[in-house]
Structure 1
């Protein structure tokens, strides 16, 4: 435990915290939806907080070991919104909070910086000015970030190289934009 600062009071503002589940995921270097880091996700975590006396424990596997963990730290929220379906505000707020928490969790600086560049570039993407632009960018970030995290977890550079996520693949973005346009057109024809 750290030492108490006798000359210091609590700060004027207490930041909203993501759920134990989300913090466990980033602590383990695993993919977790940005929604958990949005105001709605943090509010959900606050509503779901339990006391230690009420907590339920479950079995969790960590590498070769099996441990008992709080169910709150291994159970996803029933209200979670998938990354491709979050609102633009949830994305914008969520990624900033996500970056802060992965830094605190001790992720490698190169990974944190690459993700930050990735998110900042997406926030200023030229696709945002097109019809379905936000949906395109949100779909791109959801799929690409999940693939990046899968490659990191695979830990096999020959089969799943850890690409530089900060490099935006315009051809892939175009394909996703066309896919979403086709879906929107098909939905309009069904009406």
Structure 2
């Protein structure tokens, strides 16, 4: 925390606190070593100091495996520990807004919404610390609709994988039972207790093919538009990290891009009479933006037109 590095949220749960308290009481406090304070004219001053070591817990749980209940219990301790890293008040307020906005999000009212929000928390929290180390932190308090959709898909993929694994285990158990009965005819009429222990729960395998695991925000997608939508900067549909698109030309290299990322990780026009204008991200999407409080930002990030957004730009892929 003091080095502003990523720390698994598990270390802020009551379980981790109890473990740390127990380990602290078991640390040998009667071990010492000599430490040189300084050297003056060839003479050194030595001090006896106590030694002990603290290692990462073998019971630590990755963020992606935490339940929403565990996240809710750990968030307050995490927020209280942020001053250890000397984060600015803006960053501390951003993290507080991150958890508050997740707590109030309508996704939690939906079936499996707690699983989706827990996945979103794991993805976005790790992504923010990675971006912070790269010197390009984004506003974590703003809930990303695109990242939330990817979290929904990830939860569906995990559920499908678990179902397939359970089905495979059931089939192996059934085959083992069949082989045992064939090799031991005397056991062809087992006791009721044996049948009960060997009973296989019927399961119908899902017909839907497993979807490929999505890369984090590889491109903008939505429920209404499952195909990859255009990158707001280069107007291309090919999979790439659209939130950090660094291409200098649009998708077909016919001309230069007209926008670049600002310090808030939003696109703004970087040339022409509208240079410096921050653009509305919702306006660039297929459904556009209904907020009329910032119509000056309703310009296409591909050609600066006010008639459409990036997904309606005639220069796009």
TM-score of the two chains, using structure 2 as the length reference: 0.43
Matched, 1:169 2:149: no
Taking the TM superposition and a 5 Å limit, the aligned residue runs for 1:1-191 are: 26-49=1-24, 50-53=27-30, 71-72=53-54, 75-155=55-135, 161-190=136-165, 191=167
- Count of residues in Structure 1 that have an aligned counterpart in Structure 2: 147
Post-superposition Cα deviations, 1:77-107, rounded to whole Å, max 9, x if no partner, equal: 1010111212222211211111011135422
Structure with bigger helix share is 1
Q: Whose Rg is larger?
A: 2
Do the aligned partners of residues 126 and 47 (structure 1) sit closer, same or farther apart at CA in structure 2, a change above 3 Å counting?
A: same
For residue 172 of structure 1, report the CA deviation from its aligned partner: 1.1
Displacement of 1:54 in angstroms is 5.3
With CA pairs under 8 Å and 6+ residues apart, which has the higher RCO, 1 or 2?
1
Aligned structure 1 segments of 4 or more residues deviating by more than 4 angstroms: none
Q: Determine helix, strand or coil for the equivalent of 1:27.
A: coil
Cα distance in 1 for partners of 2:161, 2:81 equals 40
Partner of 1:17: none
1:38, distance to aligned residue in structure 2 (A) = 1.0
Q: 1:81 to 1:180 in 2, by over 3 A?
A: same
Secondary structure of 2:147 counterpart = helix
Q: Unaligned regions of 5+ residues in structure 1, if any?
A: 1-25, 57-68, 156-160
How far does the alpha carbon of each residue in 1:46-98 deviate from its partner, in whole angstroms, 9 at most, with x for none? 12212444599xxxxxxxxxxxx9631xx311010111212222211211111
TM normalised by structure 1 equals 0.69
